[in-house]
Amino acid sequence: MNTPETRSPAPHTIVVVGTGPRGLSVLERLAVRLREADDRRPVTIYAVDAVEVGAGRIWRTDQDSWFAMNTVIGQVTMFSGGPDGGRPRPGAGPSLGEWLHEYAPQRAREGDGHGPHDFASRLEYGRYLRFVYRTLTDELPPHVRLIPVQGRVTSVRPGQDGRYRVTIDERRSWDADRVVFATGHPDNEPDAFDRAMTEFAEGRPGLHYVPGDSAADMDLSEEAIPAGTTVAVRGMGLSFYDVLMSLTEGRGGRFVRDAGGRLRYEPSGREPRIVAGSRSGLPIPARGRSQKAPNYVHRGAFLTDEAVDAARTRRRKTGGSGRLDFVADLLPLVLHEIRHVYYTGHMRARHGDRAAENFAARYVREIDAGGDGAHAVTEAGLDDTPRLDPWQLARPFTGEHFDSQEQWRARLTEVLRQDLGEAALGTVDGPLKAALDTLRDLRGVLRSAVDYGGLLPDSYDRDFRRGYVPVNALLSAGPPMLRTEQLLVLMDHGIAEVAGPDTRFGTDAAAGRFTVHSPHVPGSPRHAQALVDARIPAPDLTRDRSPLIRQLLRDGLVREFTNRDPATGEEFATGGMDIERDSFRVIDATGRAHHGLYALGVPTEHVRWFTQIGNGRPGLNTEFRKVADAVAAELLPAATARDTRALAPLAARA
């Protein structure tokens, strides 16, 4: 008697494109769910990365050690649960700080420390990410295979039976039931400035133009930027410090503290002369000395979900769509929050905890009654406290003109040293840095208000994207205090200088050099043999040079998210990849959500805000973890079976 041949079911196949923190977070939550699921159908997961599987490009483990994180190690984790006494595994593992303590004890012996308030290098974080990836590989159930693939996904196209054909480097392909795009920071087409600077440099030997990118991927070598030559640096955000370190410490220079704790620099003689500048003229201020527990979160008194809902209701009642105006509806709540923390901190410093608590309550009552808090401030005797104005802090030189370079340097040094003093007070004891640190905790509620077109199109573009976001980033995402100290020391040595406010970058054809100067500082013009753009490219789907993104757009599988107000018809094309709320399914050119394509992180910026964050926080169910878990739930075999059943009637009609 012949018996039918028994065949194993075809494996459920998932492809995760990009294995930096966002892609890895999906893999971690997927591993948790697969370990807990009753369904034992075979699952194959391809983890694809063009640079390094398990770390990605920005955090890759072959980069130099002087590139630093700007989040303290106690506030960083890639596991969705903390250690529980068992072995590290999906859902239960150490934070970055705990991992460094366990696996890199030499770090403390060398003086770098691994306390929860210390900072790590990007290299160390990359090694931690690789540890998390290996943990997932080791702890998957027997019916699941995780296959690393180093290569670039060049196309994803619809295949048979609702699956997708994924091609790597235009050479090898396989079919997938689910595909996740976690592709990270883009490689954009050059803008007009990039093109002009590149063309100018190409026709002149000895000139070197470096467009914006991660500093670890820039050509900052001595061959490109010889010792003793002048290099102009455009932008003074976080990446500016990476460039600064590459051209100093990376050239063999050493920062050393003397017995009195004073920082000094020992040049190697291989450094170029660095002239930096930006619109504000202010290098990004330092993060305050961390004093908060890793799981601490500020609970808002003004910017709350209830306040956002009330604002939407008011907009609808006046005949609108419910879209908010950032300046009218949200910014006052943000300012109330940070000023509440700021003045309460000053009250605590002067009169103690009880007086601070009483003031905080009075301030809330006044705001709730329609006031602006001024009476509470006066009654508390705080009128002599400088008013907290984020725009003044971010643009401290607005309206100022300097008579000489010496006067400008003295003013800049004054501002930087004052900022260092505020940072040294800490994120609890220091009223200013405590208030600015609160901006980080307000992101969650603010994100719920602005995401998926929550703002009026013009207000999103003008007030939020171009107005608030740069100021928020400058004041809440700064580097460790050490970086500001190092800049000041390099300025004292004459190795680095800041040109001044409203810095202009250009070219001098007659001299055959790049130019940099500030119209507010006499004598500031400099010629430079090299020009480095120290700004990370902004996400923009329409400018992304990735073959994958171009193919997806060309074939109509994805579309740009357009913020459109149905009440007025006003619209703004954002540059972000359109996705479905909650499921994170990609939306195609016809407006249909795919049942097998998902996107999260940087490609979806402008649909969702602040997607570049690259970690969860221990003990908190953060947005980072929630998004990863939502996508992971969609990737399971059971979810695929559900969608296949839903699509069956449509397929039959077709």
Q: For the segment 548-560, what is each residue's pLDDT rounded down to a tens digit?
A: 999 999 999 999 9
3-state secondary structure of 36: helix
Fold of 193-284+479-533: FAD/NAD(P)-binding domain (3.50.50)
Of 616, 641, 638, 640, the C-alpha closest to 629 is: 616
Q: For the segment 274-332, what is each residue's pLDDT rounded down to a tens digit?
A: 999 999 999 999 999 999 998 898 999 999 999 999 999 999 999 899 999 999 999 99
Q: Who's near 106: CB < 8 A, 6+ residues apart?
A: none
pLDDT of the residue at 109: 45
Q: Give the mean pLDDT of 373-388.
A: 96
Q: How far is the C-alpha of 203 from the C-alpha of 224, rounded, in Å? A: 15
pLDDT of the residue at 638: 80
**pLDDT above 50 for 646:** no
- Please give the model's pTM, rounded to 2 decimal places: 0.94
Asked whether the domain spanning 193-284+479-533 has the same topology as the one spanning 12-60+120-187+540-653, the reply is yes
Of 516, 515, 524, 505, the C-alpha closest to 412 is: 524
Q: How far is the C-alpha of 44 from the C-alpha of 14, rounded, in Å? A: 6
On whether the CB atoms of residues 435 and 428 are closer than 8 A, the answer is no
DSSP string, 442-454: THHHHHHHHTTTT
Q: Give the mean pLDDT of 40-69.
A: 96
Compute the half-sphere exposure of residue 257: CA atoms within 13 Å on the CB side of its CA: 7
Q: Give the mean pLDDT of 495-515.
A: 98
Fold of 12-60+120-187+540-653: FAD/NAD(P)-binding domain (3.50.50)
pLDDT of the residue at 572: 96
Q: How far is the C-alpha of 543 from the C-alpha of 192, rounded, in Å? A: 12
Quickly state the pLDDT bin for 642 (edges 50, 70, 90): low
Q: For the segment 181-203, what is each residue's pLDDT rounded down to a tens digit?
A: 999 999 999 999 999 999 999 98
The mean pLDDT of the chain is 94
Buried b (16+ CB within 10 A) or exposed e, 27-40: bbbbbbbbeebeee
% of the chain exceeding 70 in pLDDT = 95
**pLDDT above 90 for 388:** yes
**pLDDT above 90 for 531:** yes
On whether the CB atoms of residues 89 and 34 are closer than 8 A, the answer is no
Q: For the segment 7-18, what is each residue's pLDDT rounded down to a tens digit?
A: 667 899 999 999
Quickly state the pLDDT bin for 647 (edges 50, 70, 90): very low
AA letter at 85: G
Q: How far is the C-alpha of 343 from the C-alpha of 341, rounded, in Å? A: 6
Quickly state the pLDDT bin for 3 (edges 50, 70, 90): very low
**Starting from the edge strand earliest in sequence, which strands make up the sheet with 273-277, in order?**
208-210, 530-533, 230-234, 273-277, 496-498
Q: For the segment 425-476, what is each residue's pLDDT rounded down to a tens digit?
A: 999 999 999 999 999 999 999 999 999 999 999 999 999 999 999 999 999 9
% of the chain exceeding 90 in pLDDT = 91
Of 297, 332, 336, the C-alpha closest to 311 is: 332
**Starting from the edge strand earliest in sequence, which strands make up the sheet with 144-150, in order?**
144-150, 43-49, 12-17, 178-181, 593-599, 585-587
Question: How many other C-beta atoms can be found within 10 angstroms of the C-beta atom of residue 516?
Answer: 26
Calculate the CA 466 to chain-centre distance.
16
3-state secondary structure of 467: helix
* Domain range annotation of the chain: 12-60+120-187+540-653, 193-284+479-533, 305-476
**pLDDT above 70 for 105:** no
